[in-house]
Structure formats: C-alpha cells, structure tokens
C-alpha cells in the first residue's frame, strides 16, 4: 500500500511534464499565429504583403540570395515576387543594424486583387535562405 508521500512524489514529475508540454504547445501556437497576417486593400489595388532581405554581411554587402515562392496561390488575385533593394530591419544589438539605414537586396511580394472583386482571399508564401533558414507566412486579405 502506498503512502500519501509516495503518491505525491510519483505525481509531481507528471505535473511537471504536463506543464512543460502545455508551455511548449503555447509557444508553438503563438509562433503559428505570429506567422499569419491579415491585410486590407481596395479592389484592384496592389498591396505589399512581405519582404525578406538576402543574407547580409556586417558590411552590408550581400552574402547570398533568398528564394521566395507562393505556397498556396490566391483565388481572387495574383502574387508577384520581385527582387528589389529594400531597407533591412535588424535589431539595434545586431552588428548589421547599421545596414538598416541603406538599401540592401531582397525580395518583395505584392498581392494584387482582381479588379471588381470584393471579399476575402487567402494565400501563403514560403522563403528559403542559403543558410538553411526556411519560413512560411499565411495571409488573409480583406478586399474592399
């Protein structure tokens, strides 16, 4: 027969494990939510959906190019991905933050709704860096 002390010691690790699982699930869910975005635009008017700089060296030169593609195309418009010179957004404590004041190469994705369409549209983008970093973003577009 077990004593209450034994039951408490056996149950405690399960409580800790449950807490860790729940905390991990919350982090994963918040990451998934952070990768979803809602945009609003007028019918027939393009809007910038996303941009991603190429891999940038500390001296602001390009190390390698990023690749971006449409994962799920929109049903009521188009997505155009354009190589362009854009401003980076490195945090102040990053050695490359000085690059934020000058244009660097990267990719910009534009969503263009069909002229005359009013409603909601969905699409997704995927990007890949030469250093193996990948990501995806899901978009809900409200077209007015």
Per-residue pLDDT of 61-90, as tens digits, reads 888 888 999 999 999 999 999 998 988 888
Q: 33 versus 58: which is more confidently predicted?
A: 58
- pTM assigned to the model: 0.68
Residue 23: is its pLDDT beyond 80? no
Asked whether 50 and 81 are in contact (CB, 8 A), the reply is: no
Do the beta carbons of residue 38 and residue 50 sit within 8 Å? no
Confidence at residue 5, expressed as pLDDT on a 0 to 100 scale: 55
pLDDT mean over 28-40 = 61
User: pLDDT confidence of 14, banded at 50, 70, 90?
Assistant: low
pLDDT value for 129? 82
Q: What digits encode the pLDDT tens for the residues 93-138?
A: 999 998 899 898 888 999 999 999 999 999 999 988 877 888 899 9
Three-state SS at 15: helix
* CA–CA separation, 56 and 69 (whole Å): 20
Name, in order, each residue with C-beta under 8 angstroms of 10's C-beta and a sequence gap of 6 or more.
2
From edge to edge, which strands make up the β-sheet containing 36-41? Answer: 36-41, 134-143, 119-128, 67-72
C-alpha 44/C-alpha 118 separation (Å) is 9
Instruction: Give the Å distances, CA to CA, from 67 to 98, 112, 123, 142.
Output: 24, 20, 17, 26
């Amino acid at each position: 027969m077990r004593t209450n002390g034994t039951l408490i010691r056996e149950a405690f690790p399960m409580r800790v494990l449950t807490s860790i699982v729940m905390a991990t699930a919350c982090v994963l869910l918040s990451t998934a939510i952070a990768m979803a975005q809602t945009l609003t635009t007028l019918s027939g008017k393009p809007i910038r959906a996303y941009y991603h700089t190429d891999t940038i060296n500390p001296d602001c030169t390009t190390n390698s190019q990023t690749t971006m593609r449409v994962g799920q195309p929109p049903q009521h418009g188009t997505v155009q991905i354009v190589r362009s010179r854009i401003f980076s957004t490195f945090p102040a404590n990053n050695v490359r933050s000085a690059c934020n004041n000058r244009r660097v190469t990267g990719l910009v994705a534009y969503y263009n709704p069909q002229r005359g369409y009013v409603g909601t549209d969905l699409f997704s983008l995927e990007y890949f860096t030469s250093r193996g970093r990948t990501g995806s973003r899901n978009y809900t577009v409200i077209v007015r």
